[in-house]
Structure 1
Amino acid sequence: MCTSVGPAAVEIRGWGWRHASRIAWALHDVSARIEPGERVLLLGASGAGKSTLLHGLAGVLGGDEEGESVGELLIDGMPAARTRGRAGLVLQDPDSQVILARVGDDVAFGCENLGVPRDEIWPRVEAALDAVGLDVPLDRPTKALSGGQKQRLALAGALAMRPGLLLLDEPTANLDPRGVAEVRDAVERMLQVQPATLVVVEHRIDAWLPLIDRVIVLGEGGVIADGSPDRVLREQGEWLAEAGVWVPGIPPRHPAAPASPPGPALVSARDLAVARVRGETVAAGIELRVHAGSVLAVTGPNGAGKSTLGLTLAGLLPPVGGEVTASDSLRDGAGPAPIRWASRQLLPRIGTVFQEPEHQLLATTVRDELAIGPRALGLDEGEIAARTDDLLARLRLDRLAQANPYTLSGGEKRRLTVASALATRPRMLVLDEPTFGQDARTWQELIALLAELRDAGTGIVVVTHDADVVTALHAERYVLGAGA
């Protein structure tokens, strides 16, 4: 176990990584030195290798069977993989970091593995949960937490370890605005009480700028910009924005407003109550309609039941009260309740994108992933290839067609799951955080594609904390939870 204390020094020497199933390197020839106590914002377009670099620094990339590396990653002069406990990592997908069944045990897990004395662990656990604003009992089942709450749980687990290097991979991606501020403030408080070197990856950077003192931008050829936030964003902002980096003051373009009013209702919810866990209703009294040719944005604080509502509207969770009814035009011979439809009936009617992309990946290549739905509908191979090629190009996945979906970045996985839902050309879409992990360029392209579908008559539900999505798609807003 690593016994050094205080902020860690990081040195990256000509480092690169290539996944075992890939020809191209995820990133290559990256060099930088991060001094103890520095607070670094790591930027780059979707797929630039930001998450891969954090995984390398945390020592969790795996051995030779997972891929190959060149160069060196050093923490306090030692190979990163040998500095156990020195780095704490919060992943893009918080669900993948949930280990144990109860909240308190899960936060304590890292401390227990580091050999922290038992009488010191639980004060750390309670302080970490308080710092990230996760106000739930220690015996709360982790499976009952929302996606945003799981993000706070993962951060609490990292904070409780008191690392010398804190690595945050989009820690606020699925949080409401209040949650974003709470997590950022929690990190700041932690750094004041327990100083550490910080490397944070975020696409939306405004909330983090007051906290960080250096920006490093990754691109083809390694580090393409490095310096103070003011200098990098002021002097190189325009070309960074063109490369896909979110730059404050240079927003992506929004599509035009819909030219036609909404069409008839496709799905109606009446006095609806929803639950993810049996016996634990998270929202009730819901009255709404999803119209053809329009976008309904479901918003509200974390834990309000937004994702659960989305899955219920999509026919994947049964209502615990009230009803969800499909219109005659949408059901087209099927029954009135989507929850009773078979999978093959759902495919051309309602397409769904889950909050966690990895929960719906099935194939071993990106191209095969896109073909699953059309093939289940019995389409001929020529039509399947045409649909697949179009979606690969539209969502910037064509260069990854033969890659294993699990080796994609978080933003690439999100675009893949959106593409998979579109491949069966459903008349209604339910998308949970569809812009998660996107750079400015892919965000703009994804929003433009959704606007095209809306204007062609598709009814779209977006569960989102991204206020720009609501504005850009001219969405009707349905607010769940406090303030509704």
Structure 2
Amino acid sequence: MGDGLPVPAAVRVDGWGWRYAGRSGWAARGVDLRIEPGERVLLLGASGAGKSTLLAGLAGVLGGEDDGESEGALTVAGRPPAETRGTAGLLLQDPDSQVILARVGDDVAFAGENLGVPRDELWARVRESLVRVGLDLPLDTPTAHLSGGQKQRLALAGLLAMRPGLLLLDEPTANLDPEGVLEVRDAVRAALDASGATLVVVEHRVAVWRDLVTRVVVLGADGGVLADGSPDAVLRDTAGELRRAGVWLPDTPIPEAPDVPEGDALLTARSLAVGRGPAVTRGRRRGRRSGRSDAATRAAQVGPAIDLALREGSAVALVGRNGAGKSTLALTLGGLLPPVAGELTAEPALAFGASPHPADWRSRDLLTRIGSVFQNPEHQLIASTVRDELAAGPRALGLAPGEVDARVEELLVRLALDDLADANPFTLSGGQKRRLSVGTALATRPRLLVLDEPTFGQDARTWSELVALIADLRAEGHAVVAATHDAEFVEAMGAARVRMDAAEVRA
């Protein structure tokens, strides 16, 4: 491996396209692109334009004929991507899909071990990469106890430890807190400055990467390349076209927050304590922070005492740094995890006859009361088509077929999934999966909607439609709780901010 520095890789894309098995439409088509060694490219485009598919093709992970069909050609460093082992490193939209081993250090070291990096050099790389991405944890920290955002940094650290000649990043900051966004961007900058590697990064929002990249490429929603050039030239000369394509520009307007009167109380939390690890059980007391990496100690740690009163029409945003407990609180409020301590009470307007303790409810009891959207969309996909996915909840309620069809058709159109109604949900882009997962919760029209990062992977148009859908629900008296790092979403919803990393949580 020598000094471990990579050889920057060139990329060639000639009339390339990919269609997933069982799909009539192409995920990407007619793409022609030349990227020279060491270039830093920001890849933009509407949700579903094929950005993630192109990155997967360049990484050589699309599979064979059973997974789909391709046309045209791709080369990385002059060879087909499947033959360039270790040359390209891909960070996927879903960090869970890239966590392989049980401990942080082992996971970061995994790819380097497979590439034959000498042991002493490898572990030096592991430690350096973890510090660079702001994940300075003991190497024996269990990966199962990391938040979604922390897993994203873990995956990036694993790529940096490989030192690839082509770094492919698919929305690497989508689930990170604002400080984490800057840490990851600066880590990427430092890695590129040190290595000279080629970069292709996919994002919907331009501002974070504009000063780091040297080139912007925009994929068209119907195939091909819509724009290509320096960041200033593309953003100046094609701004109107980019807005129509749904690209987030720095001056994209934010909808005015709705003025929604609040009604009856739905859910009340008093001195509620939730765990920060998945292995939490009832009755655990707050654990003191220590330098130990014992898994049981960390699993028992809880956040601050939480006092919340959720009323009809209300909107609350759970904000704070990654690992503060936002997702765990969301699961607890959704009745999917029992509280560690304190009380969580469903008021009569929400319980209407059921137990006042949401954790005791069956899944059928939750359907019209509390709808939850997980941070990872794939964790709640159960059907073989998009249409059936949206219909699953209404059918479980025993609604008439005509009512089921009406709800599904409305959501398909409003979520821009109507052209994908018969597609397998697992073949959708990350942004499309996120809209579908939100749609499955909306389909049963629950009184309380609990969302975990509901807007990641969205272009400006699909983001606005999600905001409008949720605002409509609030106007009808539904309450919304969202764990999110999306400040624009919080502003557009007019949500009360609840900081999970504060000493006390009250709203």
> TM-score, normalized by length of structure 2?
0.93
1:407 aligns with 2:409: no
Q: Which amino acid aligns with 2:49?
A: A
- Kept in 1, the 8 Å contact 2:6–2:195? The answer is no
CA contact (8 A) 2:264 2:349 kept: no
Which residue number in structure 1 is paired with residue 234 of structure 2?
232
Contact 2:304 2:502 in 1 (8 A): no
Give yes or no for the alignment of 1:364 onto 2:366. no
Alignment partner, residue 310 of structure 1: 330
Q: Is the 8 A contact 2:394 2:444 kept in 1?
A: yes
Structure 1 CA distance for aligned equivalents of residues 165 and 35 of structure 2: 12
The letter of the residue matching 2:162 is M
Residues 442-461 of structure 1: pairs in structure 2 closer than 5 A: 442-461=462-481
Q: Deviations over 1:322-345 (max 9, x none)?
A: 111101110011000000001100
Which stretch of structure 1 is more off in the superposition, 242-251 or 11-20?
Answer: 242-251
Q: Normalized against structure 1, the TM-score is what?
A: 0.97
Instruction: Give per-residue Cα distances to partners, 1:8-58, cap 9 Å, x unaligned.
Output: 000001100000010110010100100000000000000000000000000
CA drift at 1:398: 0.6
Residue equivalent to 1:274: 274
**Is the 1:301–1:482 contact (alpha carbons within 8 Å) kept by the matching residues of 2?**
no
> Which among 242, 245, 265 is matched to residue 243 of structure 1?
245
Name structure 2 gaps, 5 residues minimum.
281-298
- The CA deviation at 1:256 is 4.8
- Tell me the equivalent position of 1:33: 34
- In structure 1, what residue type is equivalent to 2:210? L
Distance (Å, rounded) in 2 between the aligned partners of 1:299 and 1:204:
20
Letter of the 1:187 partner, please give it: V
1:418 to 438, 454, 461: 438
Shift of 1:255: 4.3
SS in structure 2 opposite 1:207?
coil
Match of 2:165 in 1: 164
Range that drifts further, 386-395 or 36-45: 386-395
Letter in 2 for 1:401: A
Task: Verify the 8 A CA contact 2:265 2:309 in the aligned structure 1.
Answer: yes
Tell me the alpha carbon deviations over residues 404-462 of structure 1, each in whole angstroms, 9 at most, x when there is no partner.
00000000000000100011111110011111100000011110111111111000001
**SS of residue matched to 1:78:** coil
Aligned residue pairs, count: 481
Q: Is the 8 A contact 2:390 2:439 kept in 1?
A: yes
Counterpart of 2:264?
A: 264
In 1, Cα distance between the equivalents of 2:5 and 2:103? 30
Cα separation, partners in 2 of 1:34 and 1:277, compared to 1, 3 Å:
same
1:187 counterpart residue number: 188
1:396 equivalent to 2:416? Answer yes
Aligned pairs for 1:32-181 (under 5 A) are 32-181=33-182
Q: For 2:163, what is the secondary structure of its paired residue?
A: coil
The corresponding residue for 1:345 is: 365
Does the 8 Å CA contact 1:297/1:470 hold for their aligned counterparts?
Answer: yes
Contact 1:128 1:159 in 2 (8 A): yes
Paired residues of 1:73 and 1:80 also in contact (CA < 8 A): yes
Aligned residue in 2 for 1:7: 8
What SS does the corresponding residue of 1:436 show, helix, strand or coil?
A: coil
CA contact (8 A) 1:14 1:29 kept: yes
Look up the equivalent residue of 1:383 and give its one-letter code: E
Q: What amino acid is aligned across from residue 266 of structure 1 in structure 2?
A: L
Following the alignment from structure 2 to structure 1, what is the Cα–Cα distance between the partners of residues 223 and 322?
39
Q: Would the aligned equivalents of 2:268 and 2:310 in 1 still touch at CA under 8 Å?
A: yes
* CA shift for structure 1 position 282: 3.4
Give the fraction of aligned pairs with identical amino acids, expressed as a percent: 65
Amino acid at match of 1:261: P
Q: 2: CA distance between counterparts of 1:362 and 1:371?
A: 11
Q: Which residue of 2 aligns with 1:336?
A: 356
Aligned-residue offset at 1:264:
2.1
Alignment partners' CA distance in 1, 2:439 and 2:130: 37
Asked whether the 8 Å contact 2:265–2:349 carries over to 1, the reply is no
Deviates more, 1:41-50 or 1:232-241: 232-241
How far apart are residue 386 of structure 1 and its match? 1.1
Deviations 1:309-357 (A, max 9, x none): 0000000011011111101110011000000001100011000000010
Task: Using the TM superposition, give the Cα deviation of residue 234 of structure 1 relative to its aligned residue in structure 2, in angstroms.
Answer: 0.5
Aligned partners of 2:6 and 2:273: how far apart in 1? 50
RMSD: 1.4
